[in-house]
Amino acid sequence: MNQHVLIIDDEPDIRELLDITLMRMGADAKLAENITQAKHFLETQKFDLCLTDMNLPDGNGIDLVAHIQKNYPDTPVAVITAYGSMETAITALKAGAFDFVSKPIDLQHLRDLVQSAFKLPTPESTLKGPESANQQPSSNTASKILGESKAVQLLRKQVAKLARSQAPVYIHGESGSGKELAARLIHDLGPRAEGPFIAVNCGAIPSELMESEFFGHKKGAFTGATENKEGFFQAASGGTLFLDEVADLPLAMQVKLLRALQEKSVRPVGEQKEVSIDVRILSATHKDLSLEVDEGRFRQDLFYRINVITLNVPSLRERPEDIELLASYMLDKIASEWQMEQIALEPSAMSALLDYPFPGNIRELQNILERAYTLCEDDVICVDDLQLPTIKASTTREDTEVDIAEIESLDHYLENIEKKAIQQALEETRWNKTAAAKRLGITFRALRYKLKKLNME
């Protein structure tokens, strides 16, 4: 069954070009010269996509976008903007436009846009959480957001709505609150679900390698470039590029990223020609990006470009009623992954969790439960197993100082310390696991769990 597209443009040549392009894609087009005619067609027929110019004889394309959003919310609208009118395009996206294409029209960009619109999920496809805490999400929705609080219900609705757009989304939230989870779900529920989802931690890439990592490079472009390499943008083609901790990008890279987003093309290092990209950008940071702009650490024009729509992810403190459900789900998942016994939380332990502020949010809850799982006795976690009070700092500065510049990842750094301690205990006890566990001050089950987790078996 052919898709139906409504084209609104007062230029006959543009209407004809769009009509021919859509016909070759197997779609039927209705042509309107103005907003009045477009509204008449919308009243009499259902469309899978609307393509509208911004400047029309009897009104503005933004007004038409708002009209369609209000009266036909399941119909995506893409706007056609004049060359270089990025502010107009962003205004249209904020008004609810699905995407935009600039004049002169790049037919490949147009085809990509149309294909994305045709892949949008049906209106009946709604975002629902699992029926119970111990039900694992299916593989195609593995990043579902668990919880029953009002904050999470609102987050799900916002994610479902954002999934039906191609607008850049800036995801704001504290560390460990689930920003990447929200980004993955926007991708999974949208028309790009079959494409790749590439997550990049902008703060973990050395500045000298950043351009090559993002845009790729040509063989021989610099010392060590022994073969052609595609960058993150090319790897995410047809899908979504998630820029985590985007506030950590150096200013020089921010300029190049802005140009890539505006031109929808990148130039690999050492190449003369630019490569077109078809990528949706989602970005996140735990920092206050507006403050970063005010203090000159983040470009205002890039902030304006990636912050078309803001999605706020609530902290765990804002949704305490979800803690019990999350804890139950995490404990069942730990037991399943490591093929160990299922355990429960004592009521007093659950009360302690509910009273704890969780500065590290969901990630901290998971770490607390993993540690408690390995420490508990008799398959029940008590308050002492949670070890909620913060660890006391050493009295000497020398004992606590760490060269942060040498740490690429805190998780890896702590993992290496743990591995070394376990390795030393095993060697000193001639690989007697029971004796090694005793020397480390943990249970035999805790040692067995850590050996599996750290791939030391």
Q: What pLDDT is stored for residue 403 in this prediction?
A: 63
Q: What six digits make up the tokens of 331?
A: 């404990």
Which residues of the chain fall below pLDDT 50?
124, 126-143, 391-400
Q: Which residues contact 338 (CB under 8 A, 6 or more apart)?
A: 449, 452, 453
Q: Which residues contact 72 (CB under 8 A, 6 or more apart)?
A: 42, 47
Q: What pLDDT is stored for residue 402 in this prediction?
A: 61
Q: What is the pTM of this model?
A: 0.76
Measure Cα distances from 190 to 159, 253, 306, 366, 432 in Å.
Answer: 10, 29, 18, 28, 52
Burial letters 133-147, b for 16+ CB under 10 A, else e: beeeeeeebebbbbb
Q: What pLDDT is stored for residue 128 in this prediction?
A: 46
- Residue 271 has a CB neighbour count (10 Å cut-off) of 15
Q: What pLDDT is stored for residue 365 in this prediction?
A: 94
Q: Which neighbouring-strand residues pair with 281?
A: 241
Q: What pLDDT is stored for residue 404 in this prediction?
A: 64
Among the residues of 309-409, which ranges form H helices? 323-337, 347-355, 361-375, 383-386, 397-400
Q: What pLDDT is stored for residue 377 in this prediction?
A: 82
Q: What is the pLDDT of residues 404-417, one digit of tens each?
A: 666 666 667 787 88
- Candidates 34, 161, 166; CA nearest to 100 is 166
- Candidates 126, 68, 134; CA nearest to 95 is 68
Domains in the chain, CATH or no CATH each = 4-118 (3.40.50.2300), 144-312 (3.40.50.300), 318-386 (1.10.8.60), 403-453 (1.10.10)
On whether the CB atoms of residues 265 and 277 are closer than 8 A, the answer is: yes
What distance separates the 2 farthest-apart alpha carbons in the chain?
86
Give the integer Cα–Cα distance in Å for 248 and 182.
Answer: 20
Q: What is the pLDDT of residues 375-391, one digit of tens each?
A: 888 889 999 999 885 53
Chain centroid to Cα 74, Å, comes to 23
Radius of gyration for the chain, computed over Cα atoms and rounded to the nearest angstrom: 26
Give the integer Cα–Cα distance in Å for 415 and 428.
Answer: 20
On whether the CB atoms of residues 340 and 376 are closer than 8 A, the answer is: no
Which secondary-structure segment (H or E) carries 6? Answer: strand 4-8
- Candidates 175, 223, 184, 238; CA nearest to 203 is 175
Cis omega (within 30 of 0) on the bond before 76? no
Angle at 384 between CA 381 and CA 385, to 5 degrees: 45
Q: What is the pLDDT of residues 197-243, one digit of tens each?
A: 999 999 899 888 899 999 998 887 777 777 888 899 999 999 999 99
